[in-house]
Structure 1
Amino acid sequence: MYRKVFTNKVFDRKVVLITGGCAGIGRALAERMAQAGARVVIFDLDQNAIDGLVQHLVDHHNADALGLRCDVSDVAAVQQAVALVVERFGGIDVLINNAGITHRSRVAETSLAVFERIMAVNFYGALHCTQAALPSLVARNGQIIVLSSLSQYAPVPDRGAYNASKHALHGLFETLRTELADTDVNVMLVCPGYTATDLRKNVLVGDGSTAPQPALAVGRVASPQDVAESIYQGALKRRQLLVLSNLDWRARLVARCFPRAFEHLLLPRLAGARNTQGTG
């Protein structure tokens, strides 16, 4: 259940654009922002899911909501969709770059096409949306929220392309933050840990096909609602970094400063999870 609902008016009537907004953390964020009084815009690929979520936000949260089918990896489609949002609402106050895909395959067994597709959605998708929305965000002293990953702090095997895309996001948006220092735009990078979403149901494998994969988790698995609430609270405070890792600070410190020790401690647990739950 959401906490502190309707107690803050910061996002009341603000225009919040969420990519990949129909499932998992994206959907939870859409509901949380609607509860806070925001006008919610959803970009996703499944038109039926978009229509259903928009109706849900209207019926259950009395929200002013708009859903658009948009492939964030297509720069022209993004520019057209953002223009429609600005035309309808007058601008964008918050951009949440949430859309993402993943894979499970070793680097040596992963085709170039998979690397390119992961980067097209996870990295270039965020870039396309940010560049298109940036003039409005600057004019409205807005916020950019970027969904990164636990893998920024702790390498996860069989996720080479995914991990690389998340590291690239940090390089891009940390640079953008410095370039926006003379504005009032806030850039917040969010690093969730393992979260109970449907992302694993359409995982790319090395040859580019998709296949459902067993859950792979270390520590407590968070709910999308809990993650969305933490992001909401971080956005209220206009934080720059929000780490919601299932690995505590000691594990993250070991991963960063003593990578070999981290590999010896964590990787056997991951391998054990794969052997127990199926191929990873």
Structure 2
Amino acid sequence: MNAPGRPPAEDAQRSGPGATGRGSAAGSGTPGRSALAGRRVLVTGARGTFGQHLGAALTAAGAHVVGLDLHADPDATPAVLGVDLTDPAATPPAVAAAIDRLGGLDLLINNAGVGGPAPAELPPDEVVRRQIEVNLLAAWRTTAAAMPALEAARGRVIFVWPAGWPCCRCRSQPPTGSASGRSSRTPTRCATK
């Protein structure tokens, strides 16, 4: 059975034995064409540095992109819809508006996040609660709101985590990913044990 809006040959290619899927140009079915060309992508945290670069790269690869962030920027490329993803009532309608604008959804990139160290020897404070709300619960909420569209298109979800989160570390150890001790927005694996 074909996903809505996807050509039958592409669906067969993705699900057949040895299919390369969407992760490479080889899986696009057209020589020289990006595997992202024509894909409908939603990026959270789209106005941040990493989100802006991600949106630009996806757009350059031929994807149709809409972003979500705290403050709207409808004139940006890609366009950004405003929503507080920590608000349970606001997230589903914003995700639905983005999906409507895209005409469906092939890929959700949960990029919104806040970082910083969370020393294990200190009790959780408001900073830690905010990290959990943004990095975990907002991403979960966004994914749940997007799931019907993702399932219909046999889509994918990518989570981008602030470096070193959700790991707890002692005050004497700088966060992973930066010699200066500042958290970076690169997807890294926690090195602490």
Q: Give the TM-score of the pair, scaled to structure 1.
A: 0.49
Q: Report if the CA contact (8 A) 2:42-2:68 is conserved.
A: yes
Q: How does 1:246-261 map to 2 (within 5 A)?
A: 252=191, 255=192, 259=193
Kindly indicate whether residue 100 of structure 2 is the aligned counterpart of residue 37 of structure 1. Answer: no
SS of the residue corresponding to residue 137 of structure 2 reads: helix
Kindly indicate whether residue 144 of structure 2 is the aligned counterpart of residue 194 of structure 1. Answer: no
Kindly indicate whether residue 34 of structure 2 is the aligned counterpart of residue 9 of structure 1. Answer: yes
Kindly indicate whether residue 84 of structure 2 is the aligned counterpart of residue 119 of structure 1. Answer: no
**Over the residues paired in the alignment, what is the CA RMSD in angstroms?**
3.4
1:28 deviation in Å?
A: 1.2
Amino acid at match of 1:9: S
Taking structure 1 as reference, are residues 17 and 157 closer, same or farther at Cα in structure 2, changes over 3 Å only? farther
Query: In the alignment, which residue of structure 2 is the partner of 1:25?
Result: 50
CA distance in 1, matches of 2:155, 2:88: 22
SS of the residue corresponding to residue 12 of structure 1 reads: coil
Query: In the alignment, which residue of structure 2 is the partner of 1:82?
Result: 95
CA distance in 2, matches of 1:158, 1:80: 40
CA distance in 1, matches of 2:177, 2:33: 28
Q: How does 1:147-166 map to 2 (within 5 A)?
A: 147-151=160-164, 156-158=169-171
Amino acid at match of 2:56: E
Kindly indicate whether residue 57 of structure 2 is the aligned counterpart of residue 66 of structure 1. Answer: no
CA distance in 2, matches of 1:152, 1:114: 13
CA distance in 1, matches of 2:112, 2:66: 13
Amino acid at match of 2:146: A
Kindly indicate whether residue 111 of structure 2 is the aligned counterpart of residue 98 of structure 1. Answer: yes
Q: How does 1:232-247 map to 2 (within 5 A)?
A: 244=188
CA distance in 1, matches of 2:161, 2:100: 29
1:24 deviation in Å?
A: 2.2
Where structure 1 has 5 or more consecutive residues not aligned to the other structure, the ranges are 58-64, 164-192, 196-213, 228-242, 260-280
Query: In the alignment, which residue of structure 2 is the partner of 1:208?
Result: none
1:94 deviation in Å?
A: 0.6
CA distance in 1, matches of 2:112, 2:166: 20
1:66 deviation in Å?
A: 2.8
Taking structure 1 as reference, are residues 154 and 103 closer, same or farther at Cα in structure 2, changes over 3 Å only? closer
More helix by share: 1
1:134 deviation in Å?
A: 0.5
CA distance in 1, matches of 2:46, 2:158: 13
Taking structure 1 as reference, are residues 244 and 127 closer, same or farther at Cα in structure 2, changes over 3 Å only? closer
1:156 deviation in Å?
A: 3.9
Kindly indicate whether residue 119 of structure 2 is the aligned counterpart of residue 145 of structure 1. Answer: no
Taking structure 1 as reference, are residues 154 and 70 closer, same or farther at Cα in structure 2, changes over 3 Å only? closer
1:43 deviation in Å?
A: 0.7
Worse-matched range after superposition: 79-88 or 34-43:
79-88
Q: Report if the CA contact (8 A) 2:106-2:150 is conserved.
A: yes
1:106 deviation in Å?
A: 3.5
Q: Give the TM-score of the pair, scaled to structure 2.
A: 0.68
Amino acid at match of 1:136: A
Alignment coverage as a number of residue pairs = 161
CA distance in 1, matches of 2:150, 2:66: 15
CA distance in 1, matches of 2:118, 2:155: 38
